[in-house]
Chain A
Amino acid sequence: MNKLEISISSPHLSGPQSVTRVMALVLLALVPGTLALLWYFGWGVIINIALAVGSAVVAEAIVLRLRGRAVADTLLDLSAVVTGWLLALALPPLLPWWQTVLGSVFAIVIVKQLYGGIGFNPFNPAMAGYVLLLVSFPVTMTRWLAPEVITGQALSFADSLHIIFAGLPPAGQTWDVVSSATPLDLMRSELSQNHMISEIRSSPLWGDYGGRGWEWVGNWFLLGGLFLIWQRVISWRIPVAMLGSLLLVAGLFWAIDHETHPFPAFHLFSGGAILGAFFIATDPVSACTTPRGQLVYGALIGLFVFIIRTWGGYPDAVAFSVLLMNMAAPTIDYYTQPRIFGQRSGSDG
């Protein structure tokens, strides 16, 4: 009698999708926006990515070893690479190296692995790492560079490396010369000095509809995001709801007084809104999963972004808004369960 040994539960067919493939597609989608950042802000962007990704992978490997999990196999899911990469994209290009490493290690060890690793973290690791750095090192974390298209001068790779590792401004220069506020930061500080939007817009930091350079970074991230929707890695709901609600609220205030509230497109194309909408708020682990829940979740993130940017204490707000809504996600999911097949809805009941 032939005994058949292998016993596997149905279904016996499985599709082509895998976590590794999902993460690889996310990384691929990040490439255009990353190249745009590199183009406008120099080598620091790449150095940051190398530092953050490297430390994320090493930190994950160590914790997995300590937890007695399969190290190589788990690292292959590429989620640590994505976390490090996203964090690096949010950091100022010349941030001291150890701060980048600290943020990345915090994201992986505390926010991700201590909760149980991939799939179990209630908060977005990259954003939690970013917020840790922002509240701990407000000076370095707000010291951005002006896009090279404005300054006309580019830091060499060696100079960038030197600045990041020595933590000093370029030889013979001060931070004031090389660094610059982000457009969002500038808008905030100028508005707080009661300057009108029309005056503020005369600054060379402005482009056609967002921050100079930033608007194109946004466009390229937008392209990557659309690619992810097309590939069905993310759903359209969170990005559309988030950007839609941000546009709506910003538009409302702009319509009321367009001298003290920037035009709506500014909100979309001057900071992390596009990157956040397509790559961060859509992190499946910490976001809502029901269709209606995703709309609520995205819309509330957009609303919080506007509130924090306009009245809060920090220039950008995507990280805070995402973390706030991470907390609400399970509850939103619970109350937005879809009508199941054969269950009467209110209308046909």
Chain B
Amino acid sequence: MAEPRELSHFHGGLHLDDHKDESNTTPIRDLPLPAHLVLPLQQHIGHVAEPVVAVGDKVNKGQMVARAADYVSAPIHAPTSGTVSAIGRRPVPHPSGLDDLCITLEPDGEDRWDTLPAPITDWRDTEPAELRERIRWAGIVGLGGAAFPTAVKVNTSGQRRIDTLLVNAAECEPYITCDDRLMREQAADIVDGIGILRYIVGAAHCLIGIEDNKPEAAAALRSAIATAGDDAIEVVEVPTLYPSGGERQLIKLLTGHEVPSHGLPAAVGVVCQNVATVAAVADAVLRGRPLIDRVVTATGGGIAQPGNFRVRFGTPAASVIDAAGGRTGAYGRLILGGPMMGFTLHDEQVPITKAGNCLLAPSDEELPPPPAQRPCIRCGECARVCPAQLLPQQLYWQARAQDFDKVQDYHLFDCIECGCCAFVCPAHIPLVHYYRFAKTEIWAQERERDKSDLARRRHEARVARIERLEAERKARLRQKKDALEKNTAADADPKKAAIAAAMQRVAAKKAAQEAASETSDSE
């Protein structure tokens, strides 16, 4: 236990200036209540939440305002007490800049808690399913940025046995320090959360992966672990190399296992959780509190007093910026997330949601607009840094040519969009942009194909049904005819009957001919 764990390594990656010092030296600050809280119904991966309140309703802090509409979904709770003033489309933090359905809450300033469910302090004697239900009720999703519902992720029944709970505390992206501060200030909560999650997934031990540029946070965790006396938890410092905080990259670093290309971490016996998510789990189980706020870093050369803030969901990004002393210098862009994977906000008033870990307002010098794009010279530098070991340049050519079959041959969907390739590209091609385009196109095509498949199946079913009905009709007719013929010819000898019939026909013909000649004569 004393000797350092032997670390594996992942392919590629980048050494970046981490810019953590700007924001990680001051404690997490609280924010004044804003005038409105705008709660998007889609703050997570999965089915959009369904509102359970109406306009004009008074709600308490922590009261559920939208429920999970499906298994993969998450409820949303009121971050403070107040009145629901609107339910409608508002600008949301999304790269498209489009509006989406939101519940708008007018705070009453009382910040009055709702009746909360009882804390589960004896969680060791509680069924894991009940604990999962609590996590699900609390609306907890992955707070590292992916926002996948945690209750789904920790439901490992039917999967391979889990032996390791891996806590992702790498925080590898430059500028972002919200997890760093959280670990320094709430290490005990994190250790509690680890105990609960380990129990739920049945993992024998826990590894906390943290980049070695956060020694204070690592020390805080170690001391909290020592206090708790839990020797199944190990803090492992990994070299600062972007993107060590990628789930697959961190698992490879710490365990040496590669999560299969289309598989889940459970395939190698691992469940991975972000460190802030773990703290939220402790909050939900031990205090009965739903997820209503998170730590957000406000930083960059364009921010007067960079730091970390505990921000209620629905708070406008602009309020966080104001709390950080506002902007300095020229009015520039505002990025939600970090400089490698974040996206530019179209509107400063968009609310902070569960996935929002950082507001980055760079000065023009630190994040200048990219130089003009040139044609790819196929230098292969992108492949050298790709942590998924892809051939970014081939992906780019195929995406550019809109050859969506080929682009999948080159494993487009294994791309984690970390941006290493575009960072090193000497031709300054926005490579990740091309991959997102190709992914979106392929998803759209799949939806189209599903639609047309459905139409085709319907059409085929209709044709088959018509044919079947026609066949049945014919069969019935034939049966009837056969039955009739059988009846008439039933008692006669078939041969005699045939002869008689023939004679009858001949006689009838003769009679007809005679009749015809008679009529023609009379004319």
A interface residues, Cβ below 8 angstroms from B:
1-4, 6-15, 17-19, 21-22, 73, 77, 79, 116-120, 232, 235, 284-285, 287, 289-291, 333, 337-344
Contacts and interface: CB of A to CB of B under 8 A. Distances in A.
A12 B369 CA distance: 8
A18 B426 contact: yes
17 contacts: A11-B341, A13-B419, A15-B424, A18-B371, A18-B427, A22-B426, A116-B375, A119-B374, A119-B375, A235-B380, A285-B378, A289-B380, A337-B410, A340-B389, A341-B248, A342-B259, A342-B260
Contact of B340 (A1, A8, A13): A13
Interface in B357-414: 362, 367, 369-372, 374-381, 383, 387-391, 393-394, 410-411, 414
A338 B382 CA distance: 13
A-B CB proximity, top 7 nearest: A11-B419, A119-B375, A9-B433, A342-B261, A17-B426, A289-B380, A284-B379
Contacts of B347: 1-4
Given A4-B333, A10-B340, A342-B248, A22 B430 contact: no
Given A9-B433, A10-B342, A19-B426, A119 B376 contact: yes
B389 A341 contact: yes
A76 B365 CA distance: 23
B97 A7 contact: yes
Contacts of A285: 377-378
B248 A1 contact: no
Contacts of A118: 374-375, 377
B383 A8 contact: no
Contacts of A339: 389
B66 to A, nearest CB: 25
B381 A17 contact: yes
B201 interface: no
A79 B411 CA distance: 32
Contact of B174 (A7, A10, A13, A117): A13
A287 B426 CA distance: 17
B167 interface: no
A4 B248 contact: no
B362 A12 contact: yes
Given A10-B339, A119-B375, 10 more contacts: A7-B333, A9-B430, A11-B339, A15-B14, A22-B426, A73-B372, A79-B377, A232-B381, A341-B387, A341-B389
B286 interface: no
Interface string B406-436: 0000110010010100111111101011001
Nearest to B10: A341
Interface of B: 10-11, 14, 16, 95, 97, 174, 248, 252, 258-263, 318, 331-335, 337, 339-349, 362, 367, 369-372, 374-381, 383, 387-391, 393-394, 410-411, 414, 417, 419, 422-428, 430, 432-433, 436
A17 B248 CA distance: 28
A121 to B, nearest CB: 10
Contacts of A10: 337, 339-343, 417, 419, 432
A338 B334 contact: no
B378 to A, nearest CB: 5
Contacts of A235: 380
Nearest to A74: B374
B377 A11 contact: no
Contacts of A120: 375
Main secondary structure of the interface of B (DSSP, over half): loop
A79 B376 CA distance: 13
B422 A290 contact: no
A199 to B, nearest CB: 46
Contacts of B263: 342
B346 A343 contact: no
A12 B337 CA distance: 11
A120 B378 CA distance: 9
Contacts of A119: 374-378, 427
B349 A1 contact: yes
B374 A341 contact: no
B367 A12 contact: yes
A184 B293 CA distance: 77
A168 B346 CA distance: 70
A10 B432 CA distance: 7
Contacts of B426: 17-19, 21-22
Contact of B344 (A4, A14, A337): A4
A285 B391 CA distance: 15
Contacts of B423: 11, 13-15
B39 to A, nearest CB: 19
A342 B258 contact: yes
A232 B424 CA distance: 12
B96 to A, nearest CB: 10
A344 B333 contact: no
Contacts of A341: 10-11, 248, 252, 258, 261, 387-390, 414
Contacts of B422: 11, 14
A120 B381 CA distance: 17
Contacts of B411: 340, 343
A13 B436 CA distance: 18
B346 A8 contact: no
B204 to A, nearest CB: 24
A262 to B, nearest CB: 34
Contacts of B430: 8-9
B370 A8 contact: yes
Contacts of B376: 119
A338 B335 contact: no
B346 A3 contact: yes
Contact of B394 (A9, A333, A342): A333
B12 to A, nearest CB: 9
Contact of A11 (B258, B414, B432): B432
B428 A14 contact: yes
B261 A343 contact: yes
